[in-house]
Amino acid sequence: MGSRRCPRYERPLTQYAAHLLGGDVDRARDLVQEAFLRLCDQEQEKIESHLGEWLYTVCRNLAIDSRRKDRRMRLMSEEQEATFPAELESPTDAAERLDVYSRVTEALADLPPRQQEIVRLKFQHGLSYKEIGEVMKLSATNVGFILHTAIKGLRQKLT
């Protein structure tokens, strides 16, 4: 893309993203930057005729993903606050949690790429089987099977 074209979109995209994010301009700027980074990976001929629409779609999708992640994190923290007393995590617990996280991350990296992607879309991005299927051009049933296989593989590696 010509570098002269992108600045004309930066401000309106930031305003649009900020609106979608409830006024959070800093996060909106980050999303717009991510959209421009993704633009660099695109073939110019494929999107030149609809650059504006493409950028707005990418910003919208990034904002929706961000809001979903925030909602999940907020719900999880509210749930944890209601369930557990407010205590600081002991150094032992923190080390154990980091160790478990590290083991899960390593086990995930050992899965085939397709399984990794489906696990990430489901658990990191909160997509439904149907949404994952649309992204990966698979049926929801196939997504469920691949996810089941991936989780089974993770369990075996972690036990």
Query: Tell me, what amino acid is at 39?
Result: L
User: Domain residues of the chain, as ranges?
Assistant: 7-83, 91-158
Model pTM?
0.45
In sequence order, which residues have a C-beta less than 8 Å from that of residue 29 and are 6 or more positions away? 14, 17
Per-residue confidence band for 6, with pLDDT thresholds at 50, 70 and 90: low
Q: What are the pLDDT digits (tens) for 7-49?
A: 788 988 898 888 888 889 999 999 999 999 999 888 888 888 8
Mean pLDDT, rounded, for 69-83:
69
Please, what is the end-to-end C-alpha distance for the chain in angstroms? 49
Q: What is the mean pLDDT of the chain?
A: 83
Tell me the DSSP string of 41-101: TS-HHHHGGGHHHHHHHHHHHHHHHHHHHHHHHHHHHHHHHHHS---PPPHHHHHHHHHHH
- Answer CATH for 91-158 from 1.25.40.10, 1.10.10.10, 1.10.10.60, 2.40.160.20: 1.10.10.10
